[in-house]
Amino acid sequence: MRLLGIETSCDETGIAIYDDEQGLLSHALYSQVKLHADYGGVVPELASRDHVRKIIPLIKQAMADADTTAEQLDGIAYTAGPGLVGALLVGACVGRSLAFAWDKPAVAVHHMEGHLLAPMLEEVPPPFPFVALLVSGGHTMLVQVDGIGQYQMLGESIDDAAGEAFDKTAKLMGLDYPGGPLLSRLAQQGHSGRFTFPRPMCDRPGLDFSFSGLKTFAANTIAAEDDSEQTRADIARAFEDAVVGTLAIKCRRALKQTGLNRLVVAGGVSANRHLRAELKVMMDKLNGEVFYPRNEFCTDNGAMIAYAGLQRLKAGETQPLAVKGQPRWPLDSLEKPGS
């Protein structure tokens, strides 16, 4: 079975062809970072318009790279939510229209299910069950995963997601957009221990996250200190230490609560080297395993959508002609494929 996957939930247009016997045949990605850099963040209307411009050329490119024709496809998967509604509708309309024109079934995919299943694209995929930490610019959540579509929400952010807090703190420090990776790079030059930032919501039971207060703490520290490069690096290090420490503490709690010893980490922040090092130390102590997607599949991409869609198409799930984008769509509202 071979699927075309389309991802347009935010500011990256991702297209991929995935075959359940041959694996990933091609993937193409266009990032809108330069488009939004002047505004310091994603402008939804500009994002939607750029998806319109790029999506068809990228589909043609991915089809050519995979040496695949429309006749060889068994279906089309597209991201239906959550995300920016205009961006979602571009991918949904194109995906559903191509499926109709080519007489193929269409599958609507949950964006976070795509991220959650992205490590399944690797040579050594994680076996079920496991705890998943989904951590990106828009989401931070812990999920118990017993199988595809079998998700129990353990905890989530009640305000800013971790990636969002990274970007906003980077902006406070005068770093360019997107600031999260630049802040992490600056933190590598910082000295740990000069500043100590709080680990929010770790002094109480539970697995929810809150990073808005940490961002405010960083803002106050920046305002109170000198603007030397070393001070900036030390503040960046303290901020990253706090985020990574908080994520690690909550992951440990989730593993203890569920009795599991496998952890999957996915989403844009999962590429953070400090986070990976911290979780490796933690999982080694717990005699457990931690799994990640490769770096290029940590951020939004079409490959994860094609894979997730294929699993649901195999179980007989298809979408009617009506096109629907869901800006908000709880992950734990999904059902097991075929149920």
Residues near 83 by Cβ (< 8 Å), separated by ≥ 6?
Answer: 8, 9, 10, 111, 138, 325, 327
Q: 265 among the known binding-site residues?
A: no
Q: Is 274 annotated as a binding residue?
A: no
Q: Which of 101, 109, 131, 103 is nearest to 119 (CA)?
A: 131
**Is 178 in contact with 226 (CB distance < 8 Å)?**
no
Cβ 298 vs Cβ 292: under 8 Å: yes
Q: Are 207 and 142 in contact (CB under 8 A)?
A: yes
Identify any residues that bridge with 263 across adjacent strands, giving them in sequence order.
Answer: 131, 290
> ω before 82 within 30° of 0 (cis)?
yes
User: What is the C-alpha R_g of the chain?
Assistant: 20
Is 138 annotated in a binding site? The answer is yes
Q: Is 227 known as a binding-site position?
A: no
137 known ligand binder: yes
Nearest to 238 by CA among 194, 205, 280: 194
Q: Is 196 exposed, middle or buried (0-12, 13-18, 19+ CB in 10 A)?
A: exposed
- Cβ-contact 138, 164 below 8 angstroms: yes
**Left if phi > 0, otherwise alpha if psi is -120 to 50, otherwise beta: which for 289?**
beta
135 is in an annotated binding site: yes
Annotated ligand binding at 270? The verdict is no
**Cβ atoms 176, 182 nearer than 8 A:** yes
Pick out the residues of the known binding site: 111, 115, 134-138, 167, 180, 272, 300
Pick out the residues of the known binding site for substrate: 134-138, 167, 180, 272
Pick out the residues of the known binding site for Fe cation: 111, 115, 300
